[in-house]
Chain A
Amino acid sequence: MKINGYQTVKSLEEAYNLLNENKQNAIVAGGAWMRLSSKVIETAIDLSGLELDQIVETKDAFEIGAMATLRQVEKQEGLKNLYNGVLSKALSKIMGVPIRNVATIGGSIIGKYSFSDVLTPLLVMNVELEFYKKGKISLEDFLVSKDRSKDVLVKVIIKKEEAKAYFHKMQKTGLDFAVVNVAISKKADTFKIAVGARPSLVKFALEAMAFVNDAKEVTEEVILETALIAGKELKFGTNSKASEEYRRNIAMAYIKRGLREVIK
């Protein structure tokens, strides 16, 4: 990655205008993963002065400023209880504390990283993203959107819901990226199943979700069938970390474990 210029902005309007002034301008969030990129940034836009690192708990939601670090989110007391703390637990296993003190929630979302352990648990929660110009959009819509127009992510809104959730990932070492990860949530009788690091971007297992959500009772047979459907419908890939077959089998095993856990 090469950065030719750097500007700390004083307002969201300035950030938005600068972002759209040149195709090669980009916002620097934490910057922790930027080294992985080979792109050239004409002007790096720093939002550090905009106080976007606050986490505010309202009656209905947690509003997390896009520049809040993963460590801030992990340690937020209220979030430790939401969806039985699935987000805090997932974040606590990312790399180590020093990286989580740099990487931000906004950067981790906007990057749509295929290895993300942030997007997978967020996808099974009720999450909206608030952009400066585009306004609010659900995380699910954002992830599938082909809209390439550039905007400034201001906050991540996690709705408070009575729900249980599960997250698990396979990784070679504590500092490595996930080989595959799975998150499942159960709100009332509705299940969401997301599988990430396949090694492509996290995705819902929609057919598996439809199957388990239609079941009158979630028996062991239903759990096994749900995992099989997810294994068939989702695309997995092979890279230096693991084979397609390995990822598929691990994901299916985690889906079974996750379903058993959330119906307890």
Chain B
Amino acid sequence: MKVNVKVNGQNKVFNIEPGDYLLDTLRKENYLSVKKGCDNSSCGVCTVLFDGKPIKSCSLLTAKTEGHEVTTVEGIQKEADKLSDYFGAEGADQCGYCTPGMALSVHALKEENSNPSDEEIKEYLTGNLCRCTGYQSQHIAIRNYLEDK
């Protein structure tokens, strides 16, 4: 079946199987910043924005994106670059596998809540796991970024 979807502002037509999940479709179409991790809705490395809201692309059927808009980290390139400076300053980035998903969650948080508390930041980022940093440095980097935005 064919699906018409806007990815990072560009209209695309994907040929998919009815049971394909968005994660696999995006990677097949070379959106390789969308990482494959647990593939069971836990780790968050496959996070993308679906009509501006963060979702785990391994949990959404591609067929459901018909007529909708999907954003990967390339779609928020400027903001991701800026955020990476804050991550770098705090040593919050090691292997980098979780970073694209985390950047998209931070973007969505900023859109939804321009002045989140520490607790709200933690709560919003619950779905993005990182196996390198222990979260403290990331939390500081994200808080600094949101305060300076």
Question: Is residue B137 within 8 Å, beta carbon to beta carbon, of the partner chain?
Answer: no
Residue of B nearest to A71 (CB): B53
The stretch from B7-15, B61-69, B74-82, B140-148 touching chain A is B61-69
Question: Is residue B123 within 8 Å, beta carbon to beta carbon, of the partner chain?
Answer: yes
Residue of B nearest to A175 (CB): B42
- A98 touching B64 by the CB < 8 A rule? no
Question: Is residue B37 within 8 Å, beta carbon to beta carbon, of the partner chain?
Answer: no
Closest CB-CB distance, A173 to chain B, in whole Å? 9
- A35 touching B40 by the CB < 8 A rule? yes
Contact of A97 among B41, B59, B63, B124 (CB under 8 A): B124
**Binary interface encoding of chain A residues 102-144 relative to chain B, with 1 for a CB under 8 A from any of its CBs, else 0:** 1000000000000000000000000000000000000000000
- B66 touching A31 by the CB < 8 A rule? no
- B61 touching A101 by the CB < 8 A rule? no
- A101 touching B55 by the CB < 8 A rule? yes
- B60 touching A4 by the CB < 8 A rule? no
Instruction: Bin the interface of chain B by size.
Output: 20 to 34
- B66 touching A8 by the CB < 8 A rule? yes
Residue of A nearest to B18 (CB): A6
Contact of B55 among A34, A41, A102, A175 (CB under 8 A): A102
A1-B19, A35-B40 known; A97-B105 Cβ under 8 A: yes
A98-B44, A98-B105, A101-B54 known; A175-B63 Cβ under 8 A: no
**Binary interface encoding of chain B residues 2-34 relative to chain A, with 1 for a CB under 8 A from any of its CBs, else 0:** 000000000000000111010000000000000
Distance A98 CA – B124 CA, assembled complex (angstroms):
9
Contact of A99 among B18, B127, B129 (CB under 8 A): B127
A3-B19, A35-B40, A96-B127 known; A101-B53 Cβ under 8 A: yes
- Which residue of A4, A5, A31, A34 has the most chain B CB atoms within 10 A of its CB atom? A31
Contact of B126 among A8, A44, A71, A97 (CB under 8 A): A97
Residues in B with CB closer than 8 Å to A3 are: 17-19, 61
A95-B41, A101-B50, A175-B42 known; A44-B105 Cβ under 8 A: no
- A98 touching B63 by the CB < 8 A rule? no
Contact of A32 among B41, B54, B105, B124 (CB under 8 A): B41
A97-B124, A102-B56, A175-B42 known; A31-B50 Cβ under 8 A: no
Chain A interfacial positions (CB closer than 8 Å to B): 1-6, 8, 28, 30-32, 34-35, 41, 44, 46, 48, 71, 92, 95-99, 101-102, 174-175
